[in-house]
């Protein structure tokens, strides 16, 4: 059983794409940490838990989330077996393994998967604001191709980002024919990250998020570093 040098997720790859230096400080040296104790993140986590219990356990929906009942009921009425907060993990050979297996290479969680024979639907809940210009469907495609690895009978997936507060839904479709191309894409992204580990090169990349939002205060692009 070969233990990978590091385990990656969609969010880690996204951070690396955004800024290799930020990735380094958060995941390698670990001398800076993201703040996950914000009201926005807390609200998102609470909604995810409420949706999981409403669909998966048939618990009553909290009054503060009543605005999402119609959307959740529509999902609940769809034919197929429901999997809430479905955890997936793969080893380097793209074979399914336990979520905390010693040889785990990649991890991901689907908010809601609805499996009906060879077809499936996957939903990712979003509680933030909706702006079409900043929608990233990368998480959907990675979850889709990983789900096919875990449930190889699936050949067709309809996926969507459900912005519950903004009442917006961003759709995409993935088929078994897409899988080799999509894995090649994500393996290339992983390869870039692996190369950074090997060379020890983590160059900063500036963006509009640096000055007000990045937690890596030592970077010269950070407006709060002085």
Q: Per-residue confidence of the chain (226 residues) as pLDDT tens digits?
A: 667 889 999 999 999 999 999 999 999 999 999 888 899 999 999 999 999 999 999 999 999 999 999 999 999 999 999 999 999 999 999 999 999 999 999 999 999 999 999 999 999 999 999 888 888 999 999 999 999 999 999 999 999 999 999 999 999 999 999 999 999 999 999 999 999 999 999 999 988 778 777 888 888 887 665 4
| Residue 186: how many other CB atoms lie within 10 Å | 18
pTM (2 d.p.):
0.93
Structure tokens at 222: 């950070």
Closest CA to 5 of 204, 187, 193: 193
Are 90 and 146 spatial neighbours (Cβ–Cβ below 8 Å)? Answer: yes
pLDDT at position 209: 75
Gap between the Cα atoms of 181 and 140, Å rounded: 15
pLDDT at position 220: 82
DSSP for residue 162: E
pLDDT at position 50: 97
Gap between the Cα atoms of 98 and 74, Å rounded: 31
Q: Which CATH class is domain 30-178?
A: alpha beta
């Amino acid at each position: 059983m070969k233990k990978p040098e590091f385990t990656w997720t969609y969010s880690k790859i996204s951070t690396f794409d955004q800024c290799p230096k930020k990735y380094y400080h958060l995941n390698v040296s670990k001398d800076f940490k993201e703040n996950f104790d914000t009201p926005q993140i807390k609200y998102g986590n609470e909604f995810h838990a409420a949706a999981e219990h409403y669909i998966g356990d048939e618990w009553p929906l909290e009054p503060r989330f009543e605005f999402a009942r119609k959307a959740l009921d529509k999902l609940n009425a769809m034919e197929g077996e429901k999997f809430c907060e479905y955890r997936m993990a793969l080893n380097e050979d793209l074979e399914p393994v336990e979520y905390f297996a010693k040889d785990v290479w990649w991890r991901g969680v689907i908010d809601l998967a609805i499996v009906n024979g060879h077809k499936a639907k996957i939903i990712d809940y979003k509680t933030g604001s909706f702006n079409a210009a900043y929608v990233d469907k990368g998480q959907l495609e990675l979850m889709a191709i990983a789900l096919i690895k875990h449930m190889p009978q699936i050949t067709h997936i309809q996926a969507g980002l459900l912005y519950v507060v903004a009442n917006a839904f961003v759709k995409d479709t993935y088929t078994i024919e897409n899988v080799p191309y999509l894995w090649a894409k994500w393996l290339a992204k992983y390869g870039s990250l692996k190369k950074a580990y090997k060379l020890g090169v983590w160059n900063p990349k500036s963006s509009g998020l640096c000055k007000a939002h990045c937690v890596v205060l030592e970077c010269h692009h950070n407006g709060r570093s002085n």
